[in-house]
Amino acid sequence: MYRIMIADDEGIVIDSFKYLLKEEFGENVLVETAKTGRSVIELAERFRPDIALMDIRMPGINGIDAIKEIRKRNEGIIFIVISAYDKFVYAQEAINLGVMDYLNKPVDKDQFIQTIKKAMLQVDGEREKRSRELEILEKMETVAPIIENGLVYNMLFQDFHKEDMENFKKVLEIESNYGYMIALVFGEQQKDGFMTNAVGSSVKIQNQIRDLREIIKSYFNCVIGAVMANKLAVFIPYDKKEFDYNERIEIIDTARNMIRRLNTQMDVTFRAGIGSIKTLDQQMISYNEALDSLTMTTGSVVHSDDVAVGCDYEDDYPIDAENDIFESVKNGDLNKAMGAANQFFDWMVDRYKNYADDIKLKVLEFVLRAESLVYEKGGNTYHFRAREDYLRIINGAQNYDALRKWFLDKISEACHNVMSRRENRSNGVIDRARDYIQSNYKNDISLDDVSREIDISPYYFSKIFKEAMGENFIEYLTNLRIEKAKELLDKTDMSMKEICVEVGYSNPNYFSRIFKKNVGVTPTEYKG
C-alpha cells in the first residue's frame, strides 16, 4: 500500500490524478487531497504520505514553501512537483529541496504513470532499507547483552588475552582505557548492610531484565554484565585517571536518580556502590570497592571514596609500575616485568636512599607476591623451606646494585616459571596426543576421543594442537595414515583392501580418493 497526497487548487486536476492512480494501481494506493498550502501541510502531518504530488501555485502558502515546511517534520516523503509554470527558478528551487521530479501541465498520462512507478520503487527501496536496519537493530538487541556480559565477565575474573580486550572495545565502541564499576545490589529490604531474599529477588529481576538495562543505560553510558545472584556489575568507561570532586558528586547524583527510578518501577529494592577509576584490567578492584562500600553505610548510593574503601598512596608512589610488575608476572611477560621492576626500584632509591631496611622489606614483599602468583597459576610444587636464604641474602646485600640484581633475578625467575608451566603443559599434552594417535590411527578415532584421553576440552586441544603441529587434527591424522599406507605399498604385497583397513579406512573407494588428493595418484598407480 502506498499513501499518495495530491495538492492542487484545481478540482479537475485532482479528480483526473485520482482516476489515473486508481485505474493503474487500484487498491495498492490510498489517496488524499488538499487545495491550499496550509491544508496540505496539515494533511501531511496527519496522513504521513509516501508520495506527494505538489502544485507550485496554490492559495496562501505556495507549493515550494509548503514543501519546506513539510520537510521539517517528514524528510522521507518523495515529492513530485506538477505545475503549469515552466520557469527555471521554480525547477531549480525544487531540485534544491530534493524533489524527485518536475512535471509540466498538462501532464502526459504515460509520463505521469512512469513517474509514480519510479517514486514507488524509491519508496520500496527505503522500506527495504529500513527493514534491514530494524532487523540489524533487533539482532543487536539480542547480541549486545551477550557481548557486554562477556567484557564484564573477563574484567572481573581476569580471564582474557589482550587481543580479546581490544576486540571487545572495538565491537562496543569503547575508546577509553580507564573506567569504574557500579555494583547494583537488590532484594526485598535492607538489613544490616545487606539485602534480604537474594534468591527470590534474582528470579523476579530476570523477568524485568530488559527494562532494567534500559533504565540503567538512560543514566549512564555503560556496559552491563549478567545478574549474579542479587548483584549486577555495571562498567562505565572514563577518560580520566581519577575523579575531581565535582565529577564525583555529579556521578553520585546521577546514581541516586537512577536508584529512585529503579525502586519505583521494579519489583525489588536497589542500592548502588560506586568504585574508583581503574585501568580496564583492574576493574575487579573497582567492583570490590563498590561492594565493600555498601557494607559500610545504609545509604542507597555510596561512593567508595567517601567511605575510605581501598588503599591510598603517597602522592608520587608508582602504583602503575607496581601493578605492571605483577600483571606481567601473571602473563609471563619478562620484558615488561623487568622494565616495571627497574622503574620501581629506581623510585625507591631516589626517594628513600637512606632507608635501606625499608627498601629491603619492599623488595622481599614484591618477590613473595610474585612467587605467590606463580603458585596460584599451578604447575609448581611448594616447599616450605624454599626461601630459607632470602633474609640472609637481603640483609647481606652490600649495596643497592646487589639488592637490585637479586630483586630482578627473582622477578625474572617468576616470569620464566609461568612461561615454563605453559610450555611444559602444552608440550606434555601434545606428546601424549601424538602417542595416542600413533597407537590408534588404525581405529576410527576422533578429536573428541583424543581430548578425552588426555583430559582437556576438545576446543582447547584443537587450538594448541594446531599451534604446535602447524596443522589441525584431521590433517595430521590423514597425513599419518597416508604415510603408513605408502610404507605398506612400498614394502608389502598386501591387497588394497587390506592396506585400507590397516591404516584406518573402512571404505576402499574413499581411501583411494583421499590417497590421490594427498599424493597426486591413486594407490594402484603409486604401487605400479
At residue 439, the pLDDT reads 92
Pairing verdict, β 29-34 and 51-54: unpaired
Q: pLDDT digits over 216-248, tens only?
A: 999 999 999 988 889 999 999 999 888 888 898
The Cα-based distances of 486 to 140, 333, 435, 472, 498 in angstroms read 53, 45, 20, 21, 13
pLDDT at 51 over 90: yes
Q: pLDDT digits over 392-413, tens only?
A: 999 999 999 999 999 999 999 9
At residue 378, the pLDDT reads 60
Q: Is 274 helix (H, G, I), strand (E, B) or coil?
A: strand
Q: Is 212 helix (H, G, I), strand (E, B) or coil?
A: helix
**Among candidate residues 287, 285, 262, the one with its CA nearest the CA of residue 182:** 287
pLDDT at 425 over 70: no
Beta carbons within 8 Å of 189's beta carbon, 6+ residues apart: 195, 196, 269
CA–CA dist 147, 154 (Å, integer): 11
Q: Write out the three cell numbers for 398.
A: 652490600
Give the mean model confidence (pLDDT) for residues 95-113. 84
Q: Is the peptide bond before 458 cis (omega within 30 degrees of 0)?
A: no
Place 190 in a pLDDT band, splitting at 50, 70 and 90: confident
Query: Whole-number mean pLDDT of the chain?
Result: 87
DSSP state of 159: -
Q: pLDDT digits over 126-178, tens only?
A: 888 888 877 766 666 677 888 888 889 888 887 666 677 888 888 888 989 99
At residue 347, the pLDDT reads 95
At residue 138, the pLDDT reads 64
Q: Write out the three cell numbers for 212.
A: 532494567
Give the mean model confidence (pLDDT) for residues 5-28. 91
Give the mean model confidence (pLDDT) for residues 269-294. 91
CA–CA dist 268, 322 (Å, integer): 41
pLDDT at 452 over 70: yes
pLDDT at 424 over 70: no
Q: pLDDT digits over 56-71, tens only?
A: 888 888 888 888 899 8
CA–CA dist 359, 348 (Å, integer): 7
Higher-scoring residue by pLDDT: 344, 454: 344
Q: pLDDT digits over 173-184, tens only?
A: 898 999 999 999
